Amino acid sequence: MIGAQEDTYKPLPVVLKPVLDELLSSWLGRHATYYGVTGRFFANWLMLGTSKLSTLDHQLDLRQVARLSEKLRCDPVALVGMTFADKLERSSDLICRGKVPQICHPCASQYAQENASEAVSKHWRKAWRVTCPVCGSPLSDTIEHRDNRESLRYTSPFGRLWSEALAGEEIIERFLGGDDSFEYSPITLMRLLLVQTWRPLSSSYSYESAIGWVIGTVFPDFDVLARPIKRRITHHAISTLPIHFRPALLAGISRVMTNPDIFQELRNETIFRGRRNFDRFCLGAKIADPGSKKSHQL
């Protein structure tokens, strides 16, 4: 690979088989390891116009597709399918960057049996998944519980909401799959539920307020658990929400979509700047004004 320049125009002598649902950068990274070079060197050697393999997961142009198809002797359509490039219009805010936040242990074990223990699956970066779409197993947290093989269903403080979380996951999956039967965007609803507000706290001696979130109206313990890490809980970046809060967010989506009257309660309990953000998201998602007298048509 470091030898003759003309080799850069020939297909690779050995092409590794991708594992099921493998991410493109993972597959390319495994090739770099196989050939004994760094990912940066491999990307430059492939003449892809970028030195970061992870960039290809989100931005892949026709020239890069042609180049990779030639070098790796693979189907261009299958190649694009290993990325998020064709789904970014609806899911760009839902793809986790940086460290992979979740893992499916049964799939990881299968990858190891296929001599691909370093492989990373696409769904390990999807911020709307709590289960594996390949084998159906609950996912596990790789950040808060990195040494624990128990699934999110048991490590999340919102595990009691699992059945509703599965319903919410299915709603997002349908929407991202192109289902246009929804009258508003479930992804916008996710942002709405993460809008910050204030909760009045009264006692015998004082009257104070504390930060809260719209979803805290539905699940009050969300506010209690989120306050210590309040800077990480924001409607600006759904993908940065710690995974152990995800079952609550998905359950909130399911509950609101099956009972639109909840919107009135949510709005009433959202105050100050949070109310303005709430109304802005409602408008952007084409939801009828919760403060109006009109009934909701969802």
Tokens of 113: 């049996």
Rounded-to-integer distance, Cα 226 and Cα 208, Å: 18
The CA–CA distances, whole Å, from 40 to 1, 45, 51, 149, 160 equal 13, 9, 5, 32, 44
Nearest CA among 289, 284, 285 for reference residue 264: 289
Phi, psi for residue 204 in degrees, rounded to 5: -70, -20
Query: Is pLDDT above 60 for 253?
Result: yes
Domain boundary among 42, 65, 86: 86
Mean pLDDT of 242-249: 96
Q: Structural domain tally of the chain?
A: 2
Rounded-to-integer distance, Cα 87 and Cα 91, Å: 6
Domain boundary among 86, 103, 122: 86
Query: Is pLDDT above 50 for 146?
Result: yes
Tokens of 169: 């996951």
The model's pTM: 0.87
Q: Specify if 125 maps to a domain.
A: no
CB 256 within 8 A of CB 263: yes
Tell me what percent of the residues of the chain surpass a pLDDT of 90: 70
pLDDT of residue 203: 52
Domain that holds residue 20: 1-86
Domain boundary among 86, 103, 129: 86
Considering only the C-alpha atoms of the chain, give the largest distance between any 2 of them, rounded to a whole number of Å: 81
CB 253 within 8 A of CB 241: no
pLDDT of residue 291: 55
Q: Specify if 271 maps to a domain.
A: yes
Query: Residue 167 carries which side chain, given as an amino acid letter?
Result: A
Rounded-to-integer distance, Cα 166 and Cα 138, Å: 10
Chain CA centroid to CA 206, Å: 41
